[in-house]
Structure 1
Amino acid sequence: MSDALTVGGLVHTFDGRRALDECSFTVPAGSVTALVGRNGAGKTTLLRAAAGLLTPDRGRVTVFGAPPGAASLPRIGYVGQQAPLYRTLTVAQTLRLGARLNPRWDTPYAQRLADAAQLPPAAKVGTLAPGQRMRLALVLALGKRPGLLLLDEPLAHLDPVARTEAAGALMAEVAEHGTTVVLSSHVVADIEGVCDRVVVLAEGRVLLAAEVDDALAGHYVAVGGPGDLAPLDGAEIVETRPDGGGFTALVRIAEPVPAGRLSWHRPTLEEMLLGYLRGVSAR
């Protein structure tokens, strides 16, 4: 499988602080990748660089083998956190503008998505609720039939029903057209059951980049009492937390270490991701 997105050694600085710090990972074509991190981890900066909206200080980004730019723009769909749209246009006018600006625009498909989201055609964008504006932004991104869809916290403003509907539309797009999706979030529930790959970002650095199943298979949760940490010496401990006089640790290890009173279990996706995010915060 070829790569839709390649990020190599990406560095970018804002006001003396590194928003991206030697970021490197690949996104295979046709995959759905979750970009997970706390607020300020660098997710937005990374997605803007991938969309060609930001030129990093150092490093390389390629989209389907070429740097992001005018030539690759028709193949990239991007939805930012604020869903920037022309507030004075109506929903119908916004869709017509999408058709004029995008050579791959699929009018019947975009209209079906707008109807499913119950977006009133005559309503001005500025009068829509935040969740409706985000749904309209998703319609615009999907209507251009992109090869790579970059979504920055796209579900944050949606109610539970709308979140389910939007996720279903994304999955249908992937299944029908093989669209590659990179979806940023700091909410594990938004990505569980949707994404097949995960990239964990913290303080501008990539901590983990792998298929979800492979990542889960490469970690264990160890639970022990006082004095049981010694058998874990030399293992890659992602996070350790006090737990009722003992501890719970997320360990990056292929097989558990049989020792003493330690008990082991495979982590859930939420346990693994929160372990990485908490582990960085505790350092």
Structure 2
Amino acid sequence: MEAVLETDQLGKRYGRHWALRDCSFRLPAGRIAALVGPNGAGKSTLLHLAVGLLRPDAGAVRLFGEPPYDNPTALADIGFVAQDTPLYRDFTAAELITAGGRLNRRWDAAMARSRLADLGIPPNKPVGKLSGGQRAQVALALALAKRPRLLLLDEPVASLDPLARREFLQTLMGSVADSGTTVLLSSHLLADVERVCDHLIVLNAAQVRLAGAVEDLVAAHRRLIGPRHGGEPIPGVADVVRASHTDRQSTLLVRADGPVADPRWSVREVSLEDVILAYLADGDAQASHEEWGVPA
């Protein structure tokens, strides 16, 4: 399947600090993908590298097989809604749609007007005086008016109330269903990820911890409960992602590579949230030990 976005050992450094490092993943066309991680994990840095607003210090990023830098052809196929939905606050929504038509070679002003009308957003009120949810909808309408092949959204609903968040996601889902646009949605709201996304990239401590189709990732993980585990191999287990212990018992979240037939272990299925939280916790622990200079 065609990859609309690929990174290979991608890295970005600010001074001595790596905001992103050894970042490799492949986003197939037609996916609605979640980029998940805590604040400071490098999500915004990755998205800014993808749209050419930053240049990497290591590795490479490709849009539709090409670098995004100084590449108007590739960037014309990208819609991007940055964090805090930056807009010209003194412009009205109608004025922003008109301006977008003069700045983009492909522009569907009628679609943008129709969507904002359906949402009850006034056309002649400065966007700085709109609610946060309304501004987010204006920003999304402008991004979709480009008819992009890839839509990048950086925490677009983090500051919205539950109703505004639901309306935004409903608009997004309807739009991409009509157009077939690939979406990469940065978020730390796991309920939203489970509701709308079929692909997942977990980013923590500046590195990709997990990437792939949601269905495949959930199917590859299990929770094992059994005797206290001392690190010895367990047949059918490729990796122990997260472990907790009592004096006599261990609970393990594992990535399996086959059936776990050992009768000492009780095997249970896991949710997407279980998988994500396990990899986020793993990343936090590694980063903390590295910063303190003590062994994990």
Question: Which band: TM-score by shorter chain?
Answer: over 0.9
Alignment partners' CA distance in 1, 2:16 and 2:122: 45
Provide the rounded CA distance (Å) in 1 between the counterparts of 2:100 and 2:245: 53
- The one-character-per-residue Cα deviations of 1:170-204 (angstroms, maximum 9, x if unpaired) are 22232222101011111111111311111111111
State the 1:156 CA deviation.
Answer: 1.1
The 5 Å alignment of 1:4-153 reads: 4-68=4-68, 69-153=71-155
> For the residues of structure 2 that align with 1:21 and 1:231, how far apart are their CA atoms?
30
Instruction: String of CA shifts for 1:80-113, please: whole Å, max 9, x gaps.
Output: 1121111111122112112221221111210122
Which amino acid counterpart does residue 15 of structure 2 have in structure 1?
A: D
The offset of 1:244, in angstroms, is 10
Question: Percent identity between the aligned chains?
Answer: 46
Contact kept in structure 2, 1:134 and 1:157, CA below 8 Å: no
Matched ranges for 1:180-199 at <5 A? 180-199=182-201
Are positions 1:158 and 2:168 aligned together? no
| C-alpha RMSD over aligned residues | 2.1
Give the Cα–Cα distance (whole angstroms) in 2 for the partners of residues 241 and 279 of structure 1. Answer: 12
How much has 1:141 moved relative to structure 2?
A: 0.6
User: Which shows bigger deviation, 121-130 or 2-11?
Assistant: 121-130
Shift of 1:142: 0.9
CA drift at 1:235: 4.3
Mapped partners of 1:220, 1:105: distance in 2: 47
Q: How far 1:225 sits from its partner (Å)?
A: 5.0
8 Å CA contact 1:9, 1:22 repeated in 2: yes
Please tell me the residue identity of whatever aligns with 2:33. T
Q: Which letter maps to 1:56?
A: P
**Aligned-partner SS, 1:133:** helix
Q: What's the CA shift for 1:270?
A: 0.4
The answer for unaligned runs of 5 or more in structure 2 is 287-296
Cα distance, 1:228 vs structure 2: 8.1
2: CA distance, partners of 1:242 / 1:163? 38
Do the aligned partners of 1:188 and 1:270 also contact (CA within 8 Å) in 2?
A: yes
Question: Structure 1: how far apart are the matches of 2:64 and 2:249?
Answer: 49
For normalisation by structure 1, the TM-score amounts to 0.92
Question: After superposition, where does 1:211-230 map in structure 2 within 5 Å?
Answer: 211-226=213-228, 230=232
The one-letter code matched in structure 2 to 1:120 is P
Separation of aligned partners in 2, 1:183 and 1:244: 42
Which deviations, in whole Å up to 9, do the C-alpha atoms of 1:120-166 show, x marking residues without a partner? 21211221222222221111111111111001111112222222222
Q: Aligned AA for 2:208? A: V
1:244/1:131 CA distance change after superposition, 3 Å: farther
Q: RCO greater where, 1 or 2, for CA within 8 Å and sep 6 or more?
A: 1
Q: Which residue of 2 aligns with 1:272?
A: 275
Q: Which moved more, 1:180-189 or 1:159-168?
A: 159-168
Distance 1:275 1:94, change over 3 A: same
Is the CA contact 2:84–2:156 (under 8 Å) kept in the aligned structure 1?
A: no
Q: Given the two structures, how large is their TM-score scaled by the length of structure 2? A: 0.89
Question: Alpha-carbon deviation of 1:220?
Answer: 0.6
CA distance in 2, matches of 1:240, 1:157: 33
Cα-to-partner distance string for 1:253-282 (whole Å, 9 max, x where unaligned): 133433354211111000000111012223
1:259 paired with 2:262, answer: yes
Which residue in the other structure is 2:292 paired with? none
The DSSP-based 3-state class of the residue aligned with 1:192 is helix
Indicate if the aligned counterparts of 1:50 and 1:61 stay in contact, CA closer than 8 A: yes
Cα pair 2:222 2:256 within 8 Å, conserved: yes
**Structure 1 unpaired stretches of 5+:** none
